[in-house]
Structure 1
Amino acid sequence: MSADGTLGAPAGVERETATAAGTRAPAGTGTSAGTGTSAGTGTWADRVSFARSSTVLVAAYLASRVLVLGAVDLARRQQDLGWTRALAPWDGPFYLSIAAHGYPDVVPAADQPDLATAAFFPLFPLLVRGVAEVTGAPLVAAGIALNLLLGVAAVVAVHAAGRTVLSAGTAFLAALVVVAMPGAATFSLLMADPLFVALAAWCLVLLARHRWLGAGLVAVAGTATRPNAVGLVAAAAVASYLALRRDRDVTSLVAPALAPLGTLGYWAYLWWRTGQPDAWFVVQERFWHQQLDFGVQFAYLVTGFSELVHDHTYLVMWSGFLWLAVVAWAVWRGARIPAVPTAYTAVLLGQMLAYSGLGPRPRFLLAAFPLVWLVVQRLGRRLVLLLCGMLLTAQVLLAWAYTSQYVIP
């Protein structure tokens, strides 16, 4: 770790000057050389390059939606499902219930799983309800249309965040990998993942630009969207620490002060509404068996192959270990990312390890998108494109499995 708290550049690579708080751009990454630039703050040529690359990425994303929705339709026909059930599996009915009726005023009993909406954070269903009211569209249609646009925002945001760390060409390839990742199947279903990825990536961009108030507000939205947004709190805290140590910039404290308010505000709301201060935790444990167990279930997942091999969900999670193995290989080969995205990613990985009921599922690994930055540093362009093809194939299969409810997202 370098003097300013960032992770070192790859072995044998000359370090570049710092481009932003907590970020240091490695030159000569695995696919193309160059320094990272915060998209939108470089030269006119940088901005044009970013816009052109983003256009290609959005086109690739939209093309992938055709394949994913084709898989959803195939599952729908095979299972004889209506479109509402097909496009809103698993978490979908809970988000629809929140959008239509809000949250219940009691913590449901164990035999009332349909009332367990308190487990789901409010920003996404509120946006779905808002789009439905403005457009007059049914909630499911409003939600899927919203997620299509949020997916575009997520792709552009991940691309922008990558350019604060990587060269332009490598950042483009990294964003292309994110488009292809299996977890992106949720971007075509009624789930909050595209909203969270978009907010997380833009928060990292704003932290890199020292836009402390903006980063804090985006983090508030993130922590009101998904529980794993606590990684943004860690990222904001590390960015502020580096800014204080290097520049004595006390305004940086705004970001970590604001970041957790989305989650804290939601928990306070549930307390007020149900009269139970730990309502969210009770619902999480009672209905999803998710609690802090310090890796006990994770260890069981790793060692219990013979017992769990017939469960498709566990098979998919085991495939997540393959991705983590590739990441570990890239780190061993000298790939690095700066301290701020490292903090964000480490918290997400820690949650997968320390909480029961999580594990390295595809959508959680997608949320940890800075891992992709490590991988692309050590792969050539052809290997990255081959990886994209393999991942996209897996994404289409996973969309079918999610819709058929053979795999828990």
Structure 2
Amino acid sequence: MVPFRRAVLNRATATAAGVYLGLHLISVLSLLWILHVRRQSFTAFIHTPPHMWDAALYIDIASHGYHDGFDYAFLPLYPALLRAVEAVTGLSYLQAGVLTSVIADTIAAVGLRAVGERVAGARAGLVLVALWAVLPTAMVQAAPYADGLFTAFAAWTLYALLRRSWLTAGVLALLGGLTRPSAAALIGAVGLAALVAAIRREDGWRPWACAAIAPSGMAAYILAVGHRFGRYDAYFTFQRSLWKNWFDSGATTFGEFSKVIDGRLDNPSVLEVIAIVSMVAVPFLLALMVRDRLPWELVVYSAAVAALALGSHRSITTTPRELMPAFPLLIPVARRLSRARYRGLAASFIAVAAMSAWFAWYLPIAYGVP
């Protein structure tokens, strides 16, 4: 029985990884074709600083360490992994970043399938992987960005929560807290689940341990930055003063919607349209999650990620990327698409994967931002 279960697990893992990597391969080949037709160098496209943005900063931290407040806004786990991969493989930091991200994204895809299969069925789990692979912002999944790594931690943390593996969930949330600020949503969901279990006197001491472990990674980094600069709120000060990023209770989001309603946002760009559609879709997707009676831990996590993304002062163009880790929002869509015929579904995803290559080329060229 054990070998059989192991074989099934290995097959499911390989299938999820194959779907994810296959769709990204289609996107990469399509991108290479676009660059060839336009006589543009792929190497120049990748290495041009405006196209890299956060990736350039991660690479700088990995190669030279933290050296000013601008850098300290970035959590340390991803650049530490870049440094380790570079040291082991001898690759350049850019190549090490791409390799790290692809591995992390593949692990995330397997985690998405595990969560999707547990709550919506095996086929829906694979469709969830495919949806995440062809999001408009999926191009950053293969770049030296920490988004894929954080999504991997989030997916497996939520899977551990659904299985009531408290210590695993706590440790993974700790690591997520060293990866992206969005981990505040993950830590909150884990803490709430642990509190509920503790109140119900379930699983003994483990929920308490989980609640203590989960926030320790992010808290330790924030305290370390505070100690380095002699003020406890140094990390948040850097986010606000240098990156113009703080929680404004949705004032920025409301302002952007107001521009659409009163016509001030005249001739919006492709990126602005995608951002607005993403923001509008969030409450409807959350409502579908509730209607489909998905586990409340997934709903809480998704709502918290959305609250952080939509409730913060930021550039509207980053909203779709900030929402990317909220993958449970896609489960209701995946469940409904899983009822479609296989051939039509496969053809649709292949077409969308090819179109995502155009977006990967168009966005940096047109706007210089991911």
TM-score normalized by the length of structure 2: 0.86
The equivalent position to 2:297 in structure 1, one of 321, 327, 340, is 340
Q: Which residue of 1 aligns with 2:325?
A: 367
Q: How does 1:288-367 map to 2 (within 5 A)?
A: 288-305=243-260, 306-308=263-265, 309-321=267-279, 323-324=281-282, 327=285, 330-331=288-289, 334-357=291-314, 361-367=319-325
Alpha-carbon offset, residue 68 of structure 1 = 3.3
2:60 to 74, 97, 100: 97
Show CA shifts across 1:177-234 (max 9, x none).
2222223221111101110111110111112222222211111110100000112112
Task: Quote the Cα distance in structure 2 between the aligned partners of 1:45 and 1:368.
Answer: 33
Amino acid at match of 1:354: G
Q: Which amino acid aligns with 1:261?
A: S
Distance, in Å, in 2 between the alignment partners of 1:175 and 1:272 is 41
Output the CA distance in 2 between the equivalents of 1:377 and 1:82. 37
Partner Cα separation in structure 2 for residue 190 and residue 71 of structure 1: 20
> RMSD of the alignment, in Å?
2.9
Amino acid in structure 2 at the alignment position of 1:171: G
* Corresponding residue of 1:397: 358
Deviation (angstroms), 1:298: 0.3
CA–CA distance in structure 2, aligned partners of residues 294 and 235 of structure 1: 19
SS at match of 2:182: helix
Matches within 5 A, 1:162-173: 162-173=116-127
Counterpart in 1 of 2:228?
273
Instruction: Supply the distance in 2 between the matched residues of 1:224 and 1:177 (Cα, whole angstroms).
Output: 26
Instruction: Provide the C-alpha distance between the structure 2 equivalents of 1:235 and 1:396, rounded to a whole number of angstroms.
Output: 34
- Cα pair distance change 1:87/1:65, threshold 3 Å: farther
Which shifted more, 237-246 or 133-142? 237-246
Alpha-carbon distance change, 403 to 180 in structure 1, aligned in 2, over 3 angstroms:
same
Percent identity at matched positions?
A: 27
Kindly indicate whether the alpha-carbon contact (under 8 Å) linking 1:87 and 1:190 is maintained by their aligned counterparts in 2: no
- Taking structure 1 as reference, are residues 248 and 211 closer, same or farther at Cα in structure 2, changes over 3 Å only? closer
Superposed displacement of residue 254, structure 1: 1.4
Unaligned runs of 5+ in 2: none
d(CA) in 2 for partners of 1:97 and 1:69?
25
Contact kept? 1:118, 1:280, Cα under 8 Å: yes
Map 1:2-21 → 2, pairs under 5 A: none
Which ranges of structure 1 fall in alignment gaps of 5 or more residues? 1-41, 108-115
Instruction: Select between 204-213 and 93-102 the one with higher mean Cα deviation.
Output: 204-213
1:255 aligns with 2:210: yes
Q: Superposition pairs for residues 86-235 of structure 1, below 5 Å?
A: 89-104=52-67, 106-107=68-69, 116-235=70-189
Q: Quote the residue 2:17 is aligned against.
A: 58
Q: What's the CA shift for 1:322?
A: 5.7
Match of 1:283 in 2: 238
For 1:161 and 1:141, the matched residues in 2 are separated by 30
TM-score, length-scaled by structure 1? 0.78
Going by fraction, where is helix more abundant, 1 or 2?
2
2:249 is paired with a residue whose SS is coil
Instruction: Give per-residue Cα distances to partners, 1:89-133, cap 9 Å, x unaligned.
Output: 1111110111011112x53xxxxxxxx112211110110011001
- Figure out how many residues of one structure are paired with residues of the other and give that number: 358
Paired letter, 2:58: Y
> Which string of whole-angstrom CA distances, capped at 9 and with x for unpartnered residues, describes residues 136-188 of structure 1?
11100111111111111111111112223222222222222222222322111
Instruction: After superposing the two structures, state which structure 1 stretch, 266-275 or 301-310, moved more.
Output: 301-310
Alpha-carbon contact 1:68-1:188 (below 8 Å) kept: no
User: Once the 2 structures are TM-superposed, how far is the Cα of residue 403 of structure 1 from its aligned partner?
Assistant: 3.6
Q: Could you list the per-position Cα deviations for residues 290-317 of structure 1 after superposition, in whole angstroms to 9, with x for gaps in the alignment?
A: 1111111101111213444444432331
Classify 1:394/1:286 alpha carbon distance in 2 versus 1 (closer, same or farther; 3 Å): farther
Taking the aligned partners of 1:44 and 1:342, their CA distance within structure 2 comes to 35
Distance 2:16 2:306 in 1: 26
Deviation at 1:67, TM superposition (A): 3.4
> Relative to structure 1, is the Cα distance of residues 328 and 387 closer, same or farther in structure 2, using a 3 angstrom cutoff?
farther
How big is the shift at 1:323? 4.0
Structure 1, residues 385-407: CA drift from partner, whole Å, max 9, x if none? Answer: 57645653553233213442626
Whether the aligned pair in 2 keeps the contact of 1:183 and 1:365 (CA below 8 Å) is no
The 3 A distance-change label for structure 1 pair 181 and 96 is same
**Which secondary structure does the structure 2 equivalent of 1:367 belong to?**
coil
Kindly provide the amino acid, as one letter, of the partner of residue 93 in structure 1: A
Cα distance change of structure 1 residues 358 and 327 upon mapping to structure 2, 3 Å threshold: farther
Q: Which moved more, 1:304-313 or 1:60-69?
A: 304-313
